[in-house]
Amino acid sequence: MIQMIACDLDGTLLNQEIHVQPKAAQLLRQLWHNGIHVIIATGRSWRTALKAQQELGITGAIVAHNGAYVFDPSKHPADLYRHGIPRPRAQEMFEWSFRHQAHMRFYLGYQQPVLLTRLPDDYDRWQKPSDRLVSPGTVIPRQPLEILLLGQKSVDQFIQDFGLIGPDYELTIFDHGHYREVNICAPGVTKAEGLEKLAHHYHIARQNILAIGDGLNDVPMLKWAGIGIAVGQGLPECHLVADYVTPTGSDDPVTAAILWAEQQGLLGPLSHQQVF
C-alpha cells in the first residue's frame, strides 16, 4: 500500500492560474487525513512550495529546490536535509554580482531571508517581507540552497567566468525572451535525492511511494518511486519511465492519478462524495 505521495507543482498540481486544483486538493487532504504523507516535490523555491502546501490545507515535509532542500515547517528545527552550494563558492559568486551589477538571489532556507544583491525594476510585483537587500562585504551566513541570476549580458558574463558546471555547482538556464533566468545549485541534485532522504526519515520503503510529475526534472523521481505516474500532457521522457500516464485530455492530472491508484488497490477506498 502507498504510504507517501510526492507531487510536482507546475503542470501537475497547479492550474493555469497557479493555484492548486480544487478536486485534487480535496483528494489529497483526504489521503493525508487517512495517514498518507502528501509531499510537494518541486524545483521551485521553499517559499513557493510552502504557499502551495498551505493552499492544500495540510502540514508535513516539503521537497523544494529540486531536491536540494527537505524541510518540515511544522517542526523545530525545520530542516531535514540540505544539499547546497558551499559557502566559499557562494561568496565568490556574491562578490562577482557586485562587480558586474547583476541581480542575484540567495535562498538560505525556511525562515531565513532571501538575500538580494540588486532590486529589479519589477520588484514590487513579487517582493516578500523576508527579502533582504544586502551590500558588498556581506558574509553569506550559511550554505545557499540555490542561487538565482536574472539578466542578459550579466548571464553571458557569468557563463564566461564560471562556465556551465563546476566541481560544486551547475547551471540550469531558462530563456524568457527579454531576459534569462539561471538557477545555480549543487551538481546532480534531483527530487529523487530529496525523496530518498525523506523516505529514510519516515522509515518508508520506496515501493510504498507514489510520485506524480510532468517535466525533465521529474524523471529521476518517477523512476525512483515504487509507482511513477506521468502527466499525459507532460514530456515523453516522463511517459517512458512511468507505470501509468494520465489521459491527455485531463485538466486535473493529479485527480486522474489518484483515481487510477485507487482502482489498482494502492490507496484504499476514498469517499468520492466529498470530492465530486
Q: What DSSP string runs through 213-258?
A: E-SGGGHHHHHHSSEEEE-TTS-HHHHHH-SEE--TT-S-HHHHHH
Looking at residues 136-154, what average pLDDT do you find?
95
> At 127, is the pLDDT very low, low, confident or very high (cuts 50, 70, 90)?
low
**Which of 170, 185, 200 delimits the end of a domain?**
185
Q: How far apart are CA 140 and CA 183, in angstroms?
A: 18
> At 16, is the pLDDT very low, low, confident or very high (cuts 50, 70, 90)?
confident
Residues 78, 194, single domain; the answer is: yes
Looking at residues 240-252, what average pLDDT do you find?
95
The distance in angstroms from the start CA to the end CA of the chain is 24
Residues 75, 100, single domain; the answer is: no
pLDDT at 123 over 70: no
Question: And the C-alpha cell for 179?
Answer: 531576459
Cβ atoms within 10 Å, residue 150: 17
Residues 216, 177, single domain; the answer is: no
pLDDT at 275 over 50: no
Q: Domain count of the chain?
A: 2
Q: To 5 degrees, how large is the angle CA 214–CA 174–CA 45? A: 65
Predicted model pTM: 0.93
Pairing status of strand 146-151 against strand 180-185: antiparallel
Residues 155, 199, single domain; the answer is: no
Residues 129, 261, single domain; the answer is: no
**Which of 101, 103, 109, 96 is CA-nearest to residue 126?**
103
The least confident of 137-146, 211-220, 265-274 is 265-274
> At 272, is the pLDDT very low, low, confident or very high (cuts 50, 70, 90)?
low
Residues 231, 247, single domain; the answer is: yes
Looking at residue 126, its pLDDT comes to 57
Residues 65, 10, single domain; the answer is: yes
pLDDT at 276 over 70: no
**Which of 146, 167, 185 delimits the end of a domain?**
185
Looking at residues 9-18, what average pLDDT do you find?
92
Looking at residues 26-31, what average pLDDT do you find?
96
Looking at residues 229-252, what average pLDDT do you find?
96
pLDDT at 190 over 60: yes
CATH number for the domain that contains residue 17: 3.40.50.1000
pLDDT at 26 over 90: yes
CATH number for the domain that contains residue 128: 3.30.1240.10
Residue, of 270 and 47, whose pLDDT is higher? 47
**Which of 152, 185, 218 delimits the end of a domain?**
185
Residues 148, 65, single domain; the answer is: no
Residues 69, 125, single domain; the answer is: no
- Tell me the CA distances in angstroms from 241 to 64, 225, 249, one per residue in order: 22, 10, 20
Residues 73, 134, single domain; the answer is: no
Residues 133, 251, single domain; the answer is: no
Residues 101, 148, single domain; the answer is: yes
Question: What residue numbers bound the domain in which 162 lies?
Answer: 87-185
> At 250, is the pLDDT very low, low, confident or very high (cuts 50, 70, 90)?
confident
Please report, rounded to a whole number, the percentage of residues in the chain having pLDDT higher than 70. Answer: 94
